[in-house]
Structure 1
Amino acid sequence: MTFEKLRTNTRNQWIIIHLRYLVGFAFFPSGLTKLLGNRFTVLSIDTPIGYFFEAMYQTGFYWNFLGLSQIVAGILLMTQRFALLGALLFLAILTNIWIITISLSFTGTWVITSLMMMAVIVLLIWDHHKLMPLLSYNQPMTVKSYPDPGRIWINAGIIYTVCLLGLSWPGPVDEGLERWTVRGLAVIVLLTFILTQYKTYKSRRLLLKNQS
């Protein structure tokens, strides 16, 4: 009963929706860097961290595959509709990254990856009822249905995906058209955020008015 109250609370739904956006975006910069075949760090190979990343970079296609997997996981989370699949893929990738940052003693990075692990676990707990049939063996069970994110959040996820991928594109931004493109994408992200919050606020006020 407690989980049902948490799951149907509109404020909690809002938090989960935006947590998916945030976690999904976290993989875009590093994923694009790998997918385009660029080095992830400029550290010397004389250091354990630099040597490790240089070895992974030299694998070629595997380096690109890692980047593609990160981007796919991020996009799935952004869609909201396929967020559970994205969270599972994200967990598989992030677990490896998390262990690497701890074992190689990344300065401060392990804190960030640990927070990301906590966020992904929260997302999986949120949708754990959808995983229960997979964990049960030869037992009939009914999966509880909860409200899914509305169309506005799905559309916003598409806009965020396109704009944030553009903003995450590696490399310097030159003067002229490129810089204005970056500014335009940033404005679209901001306007999308403001518009979704405004519509959510209006819908909530209307709902409260009808209930009173």
Structure 2
Amino acid sequence: MILLNKFEQFHAEVRNNKWLGYFTIFLRIALAYAFLMAGFTKVDGERFTSLSNNHPMGHYLEVLFHTGFYYTFIGIAQMLAGLLLLIPRTSLLGALLYFPIILNICILSYAVRFDGSLLTSPLMVLANLYLICWDYHRIKFILPFKRSGFKELIPEATRSRSRFPFKFFLSVFLTLIIAVGLIFTMNQKAVMPRNHISDCNSHCPDSSNPEACASFCDCIHNNGNSLDDCLNKYGSKFSR
């Protein structure tokens, strides 16, 4: 209970800082823009990327494209989440709708090792979580916690504190650096299909087993085998 009270006090302080208010507006606009563009592509009936169907993500998106109205439904859900984020009164609802969609995209990107959203999707998940926490005072009453004694109203129209939150933005900057570093390390150590066979092959000379790497690229982009099959073949060649 003490920990919850401290969190609520911290949350009130954050809500009272005008710079964090501006940051919140920026995140809402950025996330909304991403989903409005992606959703409109689906509603308009266009393919989302130009990836080859042999690519794991390209194969998934091609199948998704041929699901008919389900493909359109995903686009509508994305656009709805984006629009709700842009309206102050419905921003929390937009953030809650946004979260399962972007989390699914993030997990999918890592599952198929898709370069295009390996970095952006986890950062969008973090930004989405921030927006949900920003409106904690609006959702805390449905959480299975015992009610605290913290009853102060959180001002919506004006924010009294104008001190620039250097520590917060430093932590955001460090989070970006760590995320970029982790993704870069993963790309260097893990075998990746990349977006095109030329990109895939370009990393083979620097790999510990260029022959196995080239065989993996051929397995994905030319033969169109599954990622698991190609990884298994890569592992068998690598162990020789």
TM-score, normalization: structure 2? 0.58
Q: By how many angstroms is 1:105 displaced? A: 0.3
Q: Give the counterpart of 1:27 among 29, 35, 44.
A: 35
Q: Give the counterpart of 1:116 among 124, 130, 142.
A: 124
Q: By how many angstroms is 1:131 displaced? A: 1.3
Q: Give the counterpart of 1:70 among 51, 66, 78.
A: 78
Deviation larger for 136-145 or 14-23? 136-145
The amino acid that maps onto 1:125 is C
Q: By how many angstroms is 1:130 displaced? A: 1.4
Change (3 A) 1:136 1:71: same
Does 2:23 align with 1:3?
Answer: no
Encode CA deviations 1:105-153: one digit per residue, 9 max, x unaligned: 0114111001101100111111112111111378698765323358xxx
Partner of 2:48: 40
Task: Tell me the number of residue pairs that the alignment of Structure 1 and Structure 2 aligns.
Answer: 150
Partner of 1:14: 22
Q: By how many angstroms is 1:26 displaced? A: 1.2
Aligned equivalents of 2:52, 2:26: Cα separation in 1 = 37
User: Is this contact kept in 2: 1:81–1:149, CA < 8 A?
Assistant: no
Does 2:58 align with 1:50?
Answer: yes
Aligned equivalents of 1:45, 1:149: Cα separation in 2 = 50
Change (3 A) 1:139 1:11: closer
Change (3 A) 1:141 1:131: farther
Aligned equivalents of 1:114, 1:53: Cα separation in 2 = 19
Q: Give the counterpart of 2:143 among 135, 140, 144.
A: 135
Q: Give the counterpart of 1:61 among 62, 69, 84.
A: 69
Encode CA deviations 1:90-112: one digit per residue, 9 max, x unaligned: 00111111111110101141110
User: Is this contact kept in 2: 1:28–1:74, CA < 8 A?
Assistant: yes
Aligned equivalents of 1:105, 1:46: Cα separation in 2 = 14
Encode CA deviations 1:165-196: one digit per residue, 9 max, x unaligned: xxxxxxxxxxxxxxxxxxxxxxxxxxxxxxxx
Q: Secondary structure at the match of 1:27?
A: helix
Higher relative contact order (CA 8 A, sep 6+): 2
Partner of 1:161: none
Q: Secondary structure at the match of 2:119?
A: helix
Does 2:89 align with 1:81?
Answer: yes
User: Is this contact kept in 2: 1:77–1:84, CA < 8 A?
Assistant: yes
Q: CA RMSD in A?
A: 2.1
Larger radius of gyration: 2
Does 2:171 align with 1:147?
Answer: no
Q: Give the counterpart of 2:111 among 81, 91, 103.
A: 103
Q: Secondary structure at the match of 1:59?
A: coil
5+ residue gaps, structure 2: 1-8, 159-240
Aligned equivalents of 1:149, 1:82: Cα separation in 2 = 16
Percent identity reads: 35
